[in-house]
Amino acid sequence: MRKAFLIAVPYLWLLLLFLVPFLIVLKISLSDIALAIPPYTPTLDVSAGWQGIREFFAALDFENYVFLTTDDLYWKAYLSSLQIAGVSTLITLAVGYPIAYAMARAAPEWRPTLLMLVILPFWTSFLIRVYSWMGILSSEGVLNQLLMGLGLISEPLQILSTNIAVYIGIVYTYLPFMILPIYAALEKMDESLLEAAEDLGCSRLSAFWLVTVPLSKSGIIAGCFLVFIPAIGEFVIPSLLGGSNTLMIGKVLWEEFFSNRDWPVASAVAIILLLILIVPIVLFQRNEQKAREAEG
């Protein structure tokens, strides 16, 4: 009886506020847009009984999904989101790996402090961290003033409102997600393995490639997915740092809903985005599973 109560409360909460809303999105994505409130048809009319339910299902169709394939904007936005997320993930890895490596090699009494310094930005507002780059990258911003002061450039570089600013924003805000799993993998590593490799005639560099990198593989993969998956659906970074030609699907969905008020198309955009995300999420879980099995 108590157990039933314990299960029922969170279960019902999630059913009502996670699953049902999701089914509503699915349903609206199959509906037609209408000039009404709410702005779509058909609405389920239960009072009409069986007839109402039949009419409801008969009126559902894949029109919005067909529309998504006919308008360039959408598939370009999906591709460009994947591309921006992919490139930023690789840059984050290149920036994060040396930091994680150095942390794992630091004296043990320093490690907790270094770890806290990596986690601290995560507790500060995401929005503020993105915003902090606006003052740096704008045409009269700190970076341009510095470069012009040094005489490296004669007129300001346009960085804010371009994709470069979006890359910087993603790398900056998601860097802790990359550092932490790589650090966790490297910290467990037995350093005598490196000495053994060097004794056996490996150079430092090849010992790094042949021993350290393979041993931190699960951390690298986990870090990459932790950056890549949320970056695809990112909204704040492209809308503050990107320009009008920065296409990302999170921004398209937002505009479709708030500016165009086309709920059925916004819902269809959301469903396709989820379908795209399933692949990396499944791969990520498989990696986690493998890492757990290797440990246990």
Partner 1 sequence: MKRFSWFNATSLTLGFAFLYLPMIILVIYSFNESKLVTVWAGFSTKWYGELFRDQEFLDAAWVTLQVAVFSSTIATVLGTMAATVLVRAGRFAGRTLFSGMIYAPLVMPEVITGLSLLLLFIGIGLDRGIFTIVLAHTTFAMCYVSVVVSSRLTSFDQALEEAALDLGCTPFQAFRLVTLPIIAPAVISGWLLAFTLSLDDLVIASFTTGPSATTLPIKIFSAVRLGVSPEINALSTLMIGIVTIGVITASLISKRAAVAQARDERAAARTA
Task: Please report, as residue ranges, which positions from 16 to 35 form the binding site for partner 1 (by CB under 8 A).
Answer: 17-22, 24-25, 28
Closest to partner 1 by CB, 21 vs 214, is 21
Q: Least distance in Å: CB of 251 to partner 1?
A: 9
Asked if 196 touches partner 1 (CB under 8 A), the answer is: no
Closest to partner 1 by CB, 154 vs 192, is 192
Q: Pick from 197, 220, 224, 266: which binds partner 1 (CB under 8 A)?
A: 266
* Contact between residue 186 and residue 100 where contact means Cβ atoms under 8 Å apart: yes
Asked if 208 touches partner 1 (CB under 8 A), the answer is: no
Question: Which part of the chain contacts partner 1 (CB under 8 A), choosing from 11-19, 66-74, 84-92, 214-222?
Answer: 11-19
Q: Least distance in Å: CB of 88 to partner 1?
A: 14
- Which residues in 28-48 are b (16+ Cβ under 10 Å) and which e? bbbbebeeeeeebebeeeeee
Question: Which part of the chain contacts partner 1 (CB under 8 A), choosing from 58-66, 72-80, 97-105, 213-221?
Answer: 97-105
Closest to partner 1 by CB, 162 vs 239, is 239
Q: Which of residues 117-156 bind partner 1 (CB under 8 A)?
A: 117-121, 123-129, 131-136, 138, 140-142, 145
Q: Which of residues 49-88 bind partner 1 (CB under 8 A)?
A: none
Asked if 101 touches partner 1 (CB under 8 A), the answer is: yes
Q: Least distance in Å: CB of 247 to partner 1?
A: 14
Q: Which of residues 213-242 bind partner 1 (CB under 8 A)?
A: 229-230, 232-233, 235-236, 239-240
The full 3-state SS of 164-222, as one line of letters, equals HHHHHHHHHHHHHHHHHHHHHHHHCCCCHHHHHHHHCCCCHHHHHHHHHHHHCHHHHHH
Q: Least distance in Å: CB of 30 to partner 1?
A: 13
* Contact between residue 48 and residue 55 where contact means Cβ atoms under 8 Å apart: yes
Closest to partner 1 by CB, 98 vs 214, is 98
